[in-house]
């Protein structure tokens, strides 16, 4: 489980952003995690309290939005979900596609109160 290290890095990034912008009243941190990312949302949630302990994000809430793993078929240009369609174009059956989204790990928003 590498999520703790990842979350600690995110917390550091948010802290320096907040300091630069003189934000002291953070209520909620919103992350976007792609469903094909190597980071597992449940583990991120589980280790968040430990990662923020003793930082300015202590006592903040964490929200996670899941971004779908979408592919575009090179044969017919259909956009489909990688997991639901079992890595295969649902229209033409082709396996020649390009990943459009789903590997992201983004800080979407810092909500102040
Ligand atoms: Zn296709």
CA pair distance 81, 87, nearest whole angstrom: 8
Separation of CA 104 and ligand 1 centre (Å):
24
Give the pLDDT of residue 66: 97
Distance 96 CA to ligand 1 centre (A): 8
User: How many Å lie between the centroid of ligand 1 and the Cα of residue 55?
Assistant: 48
Distance 80 CA to ligand 1 centre (A): 9
CA of 83 to the centre of ligand 1 (A): 15
Centre of ligand 1 from the C-alpha of residue 73, in Å: 5
Phi, psi of 111, deg, nearest 5: -100, 120
| Ligand 1 midpoint to CA 97 (Å) | 8
End-to-end CA distance of the chain: 32
Residue 1 has pLDDT above 80, yes or no: no
Q: Which helix (H) or strand (E) holds 28?
A: strand 26-34
Cα of 33 from ligand 1 centre, angstroms:
26
Phi (first) and psi of residue 7, to 5 degrees: -65, -35
Q: How far is the CA of 81 from the centre of ligand 1 (A)?
A: 12
**pLDDT tens readout for residues 32-88:** 999 999 999 999 999 999 999 999 999 999 999 999 999 999 999 999 999 999 999
Residue 20 binned pLDDT confidence (cut-offs 50, 70, 90)? very high
């Amino acid at each position: 489980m590498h999520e703790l290290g990842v979350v600690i890095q995110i917390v550091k990034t948010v802290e320096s952003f907040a300091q630069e912008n003189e934000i002291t009243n953070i209520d909620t941190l919103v992350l976007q995690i792609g469903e094909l990312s190597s980071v597992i949302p449940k583990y991120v949630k589980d280790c968040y309290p430990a990662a923020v302990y003793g930082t300015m994000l202590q006592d903040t809430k964490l929200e996670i939005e899941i971004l779908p793993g979408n592919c575009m078929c090179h044969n017919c240009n259909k956009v489909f979900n990688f997991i639901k369609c079992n890595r295969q174009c649902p229209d033409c059956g082709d396996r020649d596609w390009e990943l459009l989204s789903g590997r992201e790990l983004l800080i979407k928003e810092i909500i102040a109160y």
